Structure 1
């Protein structure tokens, strides 16, 4: 069972790490490329702020975004803002998400996300935690997947393998960090390939942040994963 209160606390800790890191940047560095193709660091920060507000919308029964075009426009419009404005927006949007998470609610209810996706309300704090951790890494400002909490790596591996589970374009794949195992890909009695490696490398590959060159594939080639 998902412990939303625990995950909300993890979001707060991850956000504090992010804010401290962003405060060490300057205006010029915000205009530099992030690790996400086509996005500067400013784009990443604008997205993080708007994602917090979008998840508040979902928790309160509203559409996450007015439209896909509006989402993209908000990120583009916010990307070039100076550091002090970006930081204030990150803090204030994080506070709004915290307030929504602290409000009395039925956490077993189903909420609607983007593109018709639905999920239990209790899982939204973890989704926000993933946004903060992965995009902190995407800034390319000294925070790596090896720096994120081990609990997050384990749970994000489970989340992403579940996301690819049943996908006919992904071979039946067993994933292991040497201690735990997860199965993903198309249905099969036995895995077609087993992928092993450190937890950070597994998450990097599953999340499209690393090419998997430091992983070991047995039984076949390293599967090519669809974009998230």
Structure 2
């Protein structure tokens, strides 16, 4: 069962780690490319701030973004800002998200995210946790997939395996780190392919952050995953 209060605390901790790390860079470094194609580090930080506000909208029953075009324009507008402005925005938007999460609410209700995707309100804090952790890695400033909390890594693998489950363009696949196992891809009685390796590498492959070269595939080749 999802514990939204626990996940809100994890978001708070992850945000503090992110703020501390970003405070160590300078304006020139912030303008350099991130690990996300076409985005500078400033784009990543701006996206994280705007995503916090977007998830406040979700929790309060408003559309997540006015439109895809407005979302993209806001990120482009905010990306070039100097470090002190970016940090203040990231901190203040994160605080707004925490306040919205702390407000009394029916956490069993269904909420709508982007592109018509729906989910339980109780899962919104975990979704924010994933944004903060993975984009911290995307900044390329010393925080790697191997540094992620074990709980987050296990749960995000589970989340992504479920996201790709039932996809006809992905063979039935068993994913395992040697301790835990997940199934994804086409529904079948027995998986066609078993993908194994360290949890951080599995997460990197599922999340599109690594090419899977460090993983082993038995029963077929490593499945090609669609972009998130």
TM-score of the two chains, using structure 1 as the length reference: 1.00
Match of 1:151 in 2: 151
- Structure 1 unmatched ranges of 5 or more: none
Other structure's SS at 1:159 match = helix
**Equivalent in the alignment of 2:227:** 227
2:197 is the counterpart of 1:197: yes
What residue is the counterpart of 1:164 in the other structure?
A: 164
In structure 2, the residue corresponding to 1:211 is in which secondary structure? coil
Aligned residues: 228
Tell me the residue number matched to 1:14.
Answer: 14
CA distance in 1, matches of 2:171, 2:76: 36
* 3-state SS of 1:137 partner: helix
Q: 2: distance between equivalents of 1:64 and 1:106? A: 18
TM-score of the pair, normalised by structure 2:
1.00
Report how far residue 193 of structure 1 moved: 0.3
**Alpha-carbon separation, structure 1, partners of 2:105 and 2:32:** 41
SS in 2 for 1:131: helix
Q: Distance in 1 between matches of 2:153 and 2:65?
A: 28
Structure 2 residue 204 is matched with structure 1 residue 214? no
Question: Does 2:69 match 1:36?
Answer: no
Q: Please, which runs of 5 or more residues in structure 2 have no aligned partner?
A: none
Instruction: Give the 5 Å matches for 1:79-90.
Output: 79-90=79-90
What CA deviation, in whole Å up to 9, does each residue of 1:125-164 have, x standing for no partner?
A: 0000000000000000000010010000000000000000
Instruction: Report how far residue 187 of structure 1 moved.
Output: 1.0
Instruction: Indicate yes or no: 2:173 matched with 1:173.
Output: yes
- 2:124 paired with 1:124: yes
Shift of 1:189: 1.2
Determine helix, strand or coil for the equivalent of 2:211: coil
User: Secondary structure at the residue paired with 1:72?
Assistant: helix
Task: State the Cα RMSD in Å.
Answer: 0.3
